[in-house]
Amino acid sequence: MQGQMYSLGLLGKVLMYIPHLEIHQVRNLQSLTVDFHSMANIIYGVNGSGKTSLLEAIYLLGRGRSFRHRDLRLVVNHQADELVVSAKVKNNDPLVIHQLGVKRSCSGNFAARLDGRAILTAGQLATVLPLQLIDAQSFNLLEGGPLQRRQFLDWGVFHVEQSYSQLWGRFQKALKQRNQLLRHARMDEDSFRAWTAELAPLGEQISACRKRYVEGLVSHIQTVAAGFDGLGILEIEYYQGWNESLSLLEAMTVDTKRDIAVGSTSHGAHKADMRVRVDGTPAADILSRGQTKLLVYALKLAQATYFRDQVGESCVFLLDDLPAELDYHHRQQVVSCLYGLDCQFFVTGVDKKDFEGLLKDSAYQMFHMEHGEITAG
């Protein structure tokens, strides 16, 4: 793809497999050490045993934050002030093992190290260990607002275009300035023109990155979805956030009065969306609960196959409560797609029986979670 830079992650590394993990003070997981399988890791146990907390700990390792709460006081064990997650991590080179660690305190302090070198931000950390999470909130990818779908697209663009997060940061800054000026009773027109002129090309560049990404992703979505029975005919359409026949500058200029009236910028990359239709109808309006979950899996798995094609590495999958809402046949299809991706995946569920017959011989490890302790078997 022209003009595209493939991210190799911070320090030139993308890590894809966690053979060994240590968790301290993440929710009810006070101190836990575990060796994982390179492919399927099934974590089962009763409600409240700590299964989602284990996925949360892995997510903290890859993203520096929780997927459940922004407030770290809720994530750190009640009796502690900070949490630590550290791991041995590997990529395709079987001879090299890297050491990755993250520490977060209740007050929000962030510290992370890869092989002894400091990682300064959660954004840098995210380039090292690409993760895909599917949990109960993932339904929002189809049922929620466009923000969820922009985040989905931005995951993909962020991991392949090295300049993307900087571009996005500059766009956000210019948007904030323009919106502040729009809300001023007596607008400084020179500043307004300057920020509009700054914002427009940034929005165009972001949109071009996303559009390229969607164009590449669509065939992967179709292929993965075709492997899941009953999903119907899918159409994916990218909406860039303003009228396609206008440049962003033209669209903003045409609607300046409206923007002043509402006090915010109504056109731009912050309004983009990815529309998903099934048999001609918006997916959220036609699919059953289980089918919605299945389509979310298809979208995320497609993203991972595209990522592997582009970067040459797999992402780590975290699947919270896979058995919920999915019948046996569809669980089987999801698991076989995960095996096909040749990635490491972590799946939780309440009942061990729900996984019987789904897993490939000797390509998995079961773990029992009980009161925040984990045992293999």
Ligand X SMILES: Nc1ncnc2c1ncn2[C@@H]1O[C@H](COP(=O)(O)OP(=O)(O)OP(=O)(O)O)[C@@H](O)[C@H]1O
Residues in touch with ligand X (CB under 6 A): 27-28, 45, 47-53, 74, 77-78, 350
Q: Which stretch binds Mg ion (CB under 5 A): 48-56, 95-103, 128-136, 306-314?
A: 48-56
Residues that contact Mg ion, how many (by CB under 5 A):
1
Shortest Cβ contact with Mg ion: which residue?
Answer: 52
Q: Which stretch binds Mg ion (CB under 5 A): 11-19, 47-55, 133-141, 255-263?
A: 47-55
Query: What is the 3-class SS of the chain, one letter each residue?
Result: CCCCCCCCCHHHCCCCEEEEEEEEEECCEEEEEEECCCCEEEEECCCCCCHHHHHHHHHHHHHCCCCCCCCHHHHECCCCCEEEEEEEEECCCCCCCEEEEEEEECCCCEEEEECCEEECCHHHHHHHCCEEEECHHHHHHHHCCHHHHHHHHHHHHHHHCCCHHHHHHHHHHHHHHHHHHHHCCCCCHHHHHHHHHHHHHHHHHHHHHHHHHHHHHHHHHHHHHHCCCCCCCEEEEEECCCCCCCCHHHHHHHCHHHHHHHCCCCCCHHHCEEEEEECCEEHHHHCCHHHHHHHHHHHHHHHHHHHHHHHCCCCEEEECCCCCCCCHHHHHHHHHHHHHHCCCEEEEECCHHHHCCCCCCCCEEEEEEECCEEEEC
**Residue with Cβ nearer Mg ion (28 or 332):** 28
Please state the closest distance from residue 134 (CB atom) to ligand X, in A: 14
27 binds, among Mg ion, ligand X, none (CB under 5 to 8 A by kind): ligand X
**Residue with Cβ nearer Mg ion (136 or 363):** 136
**Residue with Cβ nearer ligand X (313 or 320):** 320
50 binds, among Mg ion, ligand X, none (CB under 5 to 8 A by kind): ligand X
Site for Mg ion in 51-80 (CB under 5 A): 52
**Residue with Cβ nearer ligand X (9 or 50):** 50
Please state the closest distance from residue 341 (CB atom) to ligand X, in A: 24
**Residue with Cβ nearer Mg ion (34 or 174):** 34
> Which residues would be at the binding site for Mg ion (CB under 5 A)?
52
